[in-house]
Chain A
Amino acid sequence: MDFKYIEQLVERYFAAETTVQEERLLREFFAQDEVPEHLRQWQPLFAGEKSLAASHLDEHFDQRILQMTGEEHVKARRITFGLRMRPLFKAAAFVAFAIVLGTAVEQASPGHDSESPELQASFEGEDELDATETTVIDIRSANAEQADSTYTN
């Protein structure tokens, strides 16, 4: 394999002529296990750069610092109770709507056999009305019979 390109890159690196991408390529090349003997002298330098460049803090660091500075508490206040409970409110509103809709549909259906007290009262009122009308008819017929008998007499 021809390593001329890598050799040139190393020279250009020290002459500050390489691009960021070429420098990244050098670090990747020297991170390999199999590096030719004549280039191996540069391996610790580029491997050291790569190792340090990949170092970072763990995910708990932010939490710890924010607790220490009290910034976490301030941030927590930004999420209001209403915002946090919004999904629950939505769910509750949906359930309430479904119940109302279900009740309305049930009452409007033809096979419905349960009646409310108000409806029952209105039906009872109609019975009373029928009874009144019957009484009036009976009285009229009685009066008619009386008139007939008077006329006959």
Chain B
Amino acid sequence: MDFRTDILPHRDRLYRLALGITLHTAEAEDIVQDTMLRAWERRGEWSEIQNISAWLTQICRNLALDRKKHSQYEGTLSSSASSGAHLDPATSHSALSTPHLSDTLEARESLSILSQLMAQLTPPQNDIIRLRDIEGLSYREIATELSLTEDQVRVYLFRARQKLREQYMKMQNYGLQ
């Protein structure tokens, strides 16, 4: 297995995963860089890994979630220190905190909404939506990626989209809890 041909080509997919969690381009790029370096440090294990894509996804997701928790904690501290108020989870991913994400405020807000919706899904549902709606993979490709059958992918995608709709309607009517 080779770093250039087997690891590095996953960079953009991992970047979108990290960006969907952190909503910050620079942070997402740092996370992918850390993911690549961790994969490189563990190159002795490559030959034993069955699904390199899933392995990289796991590393990247853990790093992104850690980074997000850390950012939220720091945000809570700074918010409490400055105003004495708690940070509202619904506004923790302020569109204004992603200054380089997109040219338009609408696009940043859309991405922020999607990120919050996906955070409400279970990890398998989140994976399915990400691979289908962001990466545009077929059922067969998703099945290979997640080590599932195509029928299982169909069922999981159905449930994930139902949950997505439900959460979306809640968000539109009441704001996300």
Interface residues of A (CB under 8 A from B): 13-16, 20, 23-24, 41, 43-45, 47-49, 51-53, 55-57, 61-62, 64-66, 68-69, 71, 75
Q: A57-B11, A57-B12, A62-B11 are in contact. Are A47 and B4 (CB under 8 A)?
A: no
Q: A15-B158, A65-B8 are in contact. Are A56 and B114 (CB under 8 A)?
A: no
Please tell me the number of chain B residues within 8 Å of chain A, measured between CB atoms: 45
What residue of chain B has the Cβ atom nearest to residue A75's Cβ? B4
Q: Across the interface, do A48 and B16 meet the contact criterion of CB distance under 8 Å?
A: no
Q: Across the interface, do B111 and A57 meet the contact criterion of CB distance under 8 Å?
A: no
Cβ proximity bits B105-125 to A, threshold 8 Å, 1 near / 0 not: 011011111110100000000
What residue of chain B has the Cβ atom nearest to residue A49's Cβ? B133
What residue of chain B has the Cβ atom nearest to residue A47's Cβ? B110
What residue of chain A has the Cβ atom nearest to residue B32's Cβ? A57
Residue of A15, A16, A20, A41 with most chain B CB atoms under a 10 A cut-off: A16
Closest Cβ of chain A to B12, distance in Å, is 4
Closest Cβ of chain B to A67, distance in Å, is 11
Q: Across the interface, do A44 and B133 meet the contact criterion of CB distance under 8 Å?
A: no
Complex: A47 Cα to B138 Cα, angstroms: 21
Q: Does any Cβ of A come within 8 Å of B136's Cβ?
A: yes
Residue of A44, A48, A56 with most chain B CB atoms under a 10 A cut-off: A48
Q: A48-B114, A52-B20 are in contact. Are A16 and B15 (CB under 8 A)?
A: no
Interface of B is mostly: helix
Kindly list chain A residues whose C-beta atoms are within 8 Å of the C-beta of B109.
44
Q: Across the interface, do B113 and A45 meet the contact criterion of CB distance under 8 Å?
A: yes
Complex: A30 Cα to B110 Cα, angstroms: 11
Q: A20-B136, A23-B133, A75-B4 are in contact. Are A51 and B111 (CB under 8 A)?
A: yes
Kindly list chain B residues whose C-beta atoms are within 8 Å of the C-beta of A16.
154, 157-158, 160-161
Closest Cβ of chain B to A80, distance in Å, is 19
Q: List 13 A-B contacts (CB under 8 A).
A: A14-B165, A16-B160, A20-B132, A20-B136, A20-B138, A44-B110, A45-B117, A48-B115, A49-B114, A51-B101, A66-B4, A69-B37, A71-B3
